[in-house]
Copies of this chain bind each other. A is one copy, B any other.
Amino acid sequence: MWGKESSGGRAEVRFIGWVKKPGEDLAEVEILDEFREGLRGIDEFSHLIILYWFHLRDHEEERRTLLVFPRRHAVTVEKGVFACRSPSRPNPIGLCVVELIKIEGTTLTVRGLDAFGGSPIIDIKPYLPRADSFPDARVPEWTLRGPKT
């Protein structure tokens, strides 16, 4: 068991698809054909959680970044990367909750995916309000300025 005694554990993440067409409103996600069966039943959900890889930030310097200025929220004091949604972080994983508009074959059209074209997809999970929705969660005021994340 990995734990306290062994710091620095690592594992391998595999890309299952990529952002084929980015878009603030509608975007297209393409899943590799070898993972096609994993999509069975996904159309029963209106919303999905997309985990993607900030491939442009997968560099040592960005992965060692622990403090950032969330400038697009007009924040001028440093925040920890685990206290904001900065793409510079130890694991460059992006997370967006998106609305599933349609699925055709291995192409998902979604609304609300804030990712660059070509970003690798690493996981898709169904959004379950009972587990994932906390409308009254408390946030600091600065998160309400500027873009959502």
B140 touches A40 (CB 8 A): no
Instruction: Report A34-66 residues with CB < 8 Å from chain B CB.
Output: 34-42, 44-47, 49, 51, 53, 55, 58, 63, 66
Whole-angstrom distance between the Cβ of A117 and the nearest chain B Cβ? 8
B85 touches A125 (CB 8 A): yes
Given A18-B3, A37-B67, A90-B35, do A139 and B83 touch, yes or no (CB 8 Å)? no
The distance in angstroms between the C-alpha atoms of A35 and B11, with both chains bound, is: 18
The distance in angstroms between the C-alpha atoms of A21 and B141, with both chains bound, is: 32
Secondary structure call for the A interface: mixed
Whole-angstrom distance between the Cβ of A130 and the nearest chain B Cβ? 5
Q: How many copies of this chain? A: 2
**Residue among B40, B49, B81, B135 making CB contact with A38, cutoff 8 Å:** B81
Seen from chain A, the residues whose Cβ lies within 8 Å of a Cβ on chain B are 1-4, 7-16, 18, 20, 30-32, 34-42, 44-47, 49, 51, 53, 55, 58, 63, 66-67, 78-85, 89-91, 93, 95-97, 118, 120, 122-140, 143-144, 148-149
